[in-house]
Every structure is written in C-alpha cells, then in structure tokens.
Homo-oligomer: A and B are copies of this chain.
Amino acid sequence: MIKFKNSITKKIHSLSPAQLIVSFYFIAVLIAVSLLSLPVARYEGVDWSFINALFTAVSAVSVTGLTVLNTVETFTVPGIFILAFVLQFGGVGVMAVGTFIWLLLGRKIGLKERRLMMIDQNQSNLSGIVKLIKQILVLILSIELLGSIILGTYFLSYYDTWQEAYFHGFFASVSATTNGGFDITGQSLIPFANDYFVQFIVMILITAGAIGFPVLVEVKEFIVNKNGRFRFSLFTKITSITFACLITFGALAIIILESNAYFKGMNWHESLFYALFQSVTTRSGGLATMDVSEFGISTLLVMCGLMFIGASPSSVGGGIRTTTFALNILFLFHFARGHKNIKIFGREIHEEDIIKSLVVLLLAILICSSAVIVLSVTEEFALIQILFEVCSAFGTTGLSTGITPDLSSIGKFIIICLMFIGRVGLLTFLFILESKQKPPNYRYPVERVIIG
C-alpha cells in the first residue's frame, strides 16, 4: 500500500503542472461518464448515446451546465446525487489544481513574498496539494451547507414534504456554489423569478464560487485577524473590483437595452432583479430567472462579452478570467498613452503577467471565432445563437438560447472542447506550449515597421 502510494507520488511529481491539470480533468470526465452511466442513475428510454454521455459528463465536470438532455427527466434521485457529486468534484478539483499550479509557478520564479500569505508556502508536493484541497473543500462545503439549510428551510413553503424542500435546497445550493448551472426544476430558476430572497441567496452563492478561492481565504483571514495590519493581495483587489465592475456594467446594460423591450411595463425592482441576476449569472453561474432567448440581440451580445470574460482564476468558473480582462484593459489605457509599465494600488504589474494576459486574450479570440465559423457551417442556427452558445461554453457559464439539444454531433463535440478549454484555462495550455529549451540568445538588428 505504501509502495503503491509512493509510486503514485512519483508519477505525479514527474508530471508538469499543465499535464497534471489536464490529466486530472480527463480522469474526472472518465469517472463522471462511468458514474452517470450506471443504470440506477437514469430513467429508461433516455437517449444516452456516447456523445450525449460525454457532453453531460464534460458539462458537469467543467461545471458549465449546458445540457443536451433535460436533467430532471434524465436522472433519477440517485443520479441527481451523483451529478451533485460530480459538480463538487469538478468545481473544487480544477480550482485546487489550478491554485496549486500558481503556487508552483511562484516557486519557479523564486518569488519569496507571496501575498497569499495564509496558504502554506510548502505545497509543491503531494501532501501540499492534499492539504490545499482539504482547505478548499472545507470552505466550499461550509458555504454549500449554509446555502442548503437556508434554501431548504425557505423551500418548505414551496414544496409539500420537507424531504423535497431540502432536496431542492441542497441541489440548488450545490449547483449555485459550484456554478454548476444544472437545475432540477426543469426550467432553471424561472419558478423563482419573483422570489427575490431565493435570487439573493443564489447570487451570493454563485459569487462565492466564482470570485476565486484566494479571495475567500483572504476575506476569511481579514475577518478573523482583526489586528488591522492585514493587507489584501493585488490579485484579490484586481479580481474583486473587476468582478464588481462587470456585474454593475452588465446589470446597467441589460436594464438600458431592454427598457423598451423585455422590461416594458415592469416595476423598477422587477427589472432590476432580472437584470442583476442575469448579469451575475454570466460570471459563470448559468442559472437564469428567465428564458434569455427573449432578450434582444444587443443584450445577448453584451452577455456574450461578459461570459467570454468569465470568472476569477482559481475559481469554479471559466473564460479568459477577470484578471486577464483587467490586465488587458490596463495595458490598453496605460500603453496607448505611451507608458512603459502598469501601476495600480501602489504596485507594479509584472511584465510577464501582462504578456501572458495578452496572449490568453488573443488565443481565446482566435479559438472562439474559429468555433463560431465552424459551427455556422455545421449548424442551421442564427449567428447570435451560435455566438452565445460558444461564449457560454468557453466561459463555462451554461446559459443558452435553447439550441444545445439540437446541435449536430460535430457541434456537440466543438462545445465539449470549448467547455474543456474554458475550464482548464488557456494559461495551462501555454505551459504545455512553452518550449523547455531556452530560446536562442543571439540578437538580430532591430528594424522598425509601419503599423497602423
């Protein structure tokens, strides 16, 4: 047993961080397919073809929530518990491995003073990652438990039996916190479209999952250590502010763009809650209080942009990530005016991080545009529907204008790839691309080129 464990340890140590995260993802999908394929998990007569099984598994592991099958009509109660487990596994797993890689990177570049001060410095080994996963699990499970209790208790007025109420409360809490986006109501959160309390709780749970594990740890630390000397990391500041800005911008944009359309004749608080919830859910939540296909093209385009950006790194979300977006915007505004570096919050952004964020954005645009072009060949839907589906998959958001079940097999496969890439994160793939040998050290004469 010890020998076996040592051999696994050795194996894991021989993997590069990027290989580690991709392997984890593959194994997780394999486990998910196997578990969800158990006969006890599904009702009879469901079209459980290979592509549908794979799609559902990847959607669950990547906590996207796009579905080719109606969840509540496909899975039995045991099946739904398995699904909740897979969401947990996928959400927390990639989150942990991702954070672990970042810590590794920190060691590699010899950065002594990590601002994530509360995370044990010595984690670049198996016991380290186990510890990290434990830390994350405790945090997330506590949040989910609290969410389950609050929602379950509240649902007592909605459902006939307490078992049903708490079952729904449990699944809604897990689906929200892991940003899973799956629903067992059969119609997302539409039944609670006028229940501001449920929406409020769900928005908090989505945010807790999507804002990033380091932020949660730092906030916990801030609350516990009241000595006043606590300083939030630059990461936490940037990602939280970007997060807040994106939600505010999204809500305002939706209110303005739909004021004469979907929101016509609605109360101000109804409009506000619809807009706010749909804005929050684009971070990566995927639950919705309405059928988004009823929005106009302009609103859907704004939501595409928001989903493409996605959630924080080291979170349960996907997309290019908030910090990538923030660094690109900062780059644009600083370098357009001829500055040579980015200063913010009394800190300077590392040049390598700026370059990485630019590469991630360009690569993401390239991948998503290619996907849109291919899908517009293989599918018969309108461009906005295809674009929305692509951004939703890449951002692992899980919102859809309703075309997911009708995608062709090629279409489903492309969406599967996008969910995979979006969840693992492009930065991980950059690690794989990065050549091991150092680039040649000779220089050529510099020559200028006319650009604009």
A residues touching B (Cβ–Cβ < 8 Å)? Answer: 102, 106, 109, 111, 115, 212, 214, 233-235, 238-239, 257, 296-298, 301-302, 305, 313-314, 320-321, 323-324, 327-328, 331-332, 335-341, 343, 346-350, 353, 355-363, 365-366, 369, 372-374, 376-377, 382-384, 387, 425-428, 430, 433-435, 439, 443-452
Contacts and interface: CB of A to CB of B under 8 A. Distances in A.
B449 A349 contact: yes
A452 B234 contact: no
A447 B348 contact: yes
Contact of A447 (B233, B314, B356): B233
Given A296-B377, A301-B376, A382-B382, A347 B445 contact: yes
Given A115-B447, A313-B450, A347-B447, 15 more contacts: A234-B448, A235-B450, A301-B376, A321-B450, A335-B355, A337-B433, A337-B435, A338-B434, A339-B439, A347-B444, A349-B446, A350-B447, A350-B449, A383-B384, A428-B452
A181 B234 CA distance: 51
Interface of A is mostly: helix
A365 B365 contact: yes
Give the number of copies in the complex.
2
A106 B448 contact: yes
Contacts of A314: 450
5 contacts: A320-B452, A331-B358, A335-B358, A348-B444, A353-B448
Contacts of A235: 448-450
A359 B376 contact: no
A421 B327 CA distance: 25
A78 to B, nearest CB: 36
A304 to B, nearest CB: 9
Contacts of A376: 296-298, 301
A111 B430 contact: no
A18 B445 CA distance: 29
A63 to B, nearest CB: 17
B360 A451 contact: yes
A346 B440 CA distance: 13
A263 to B, nearest CB: 14
Contacts of A350: 446-449
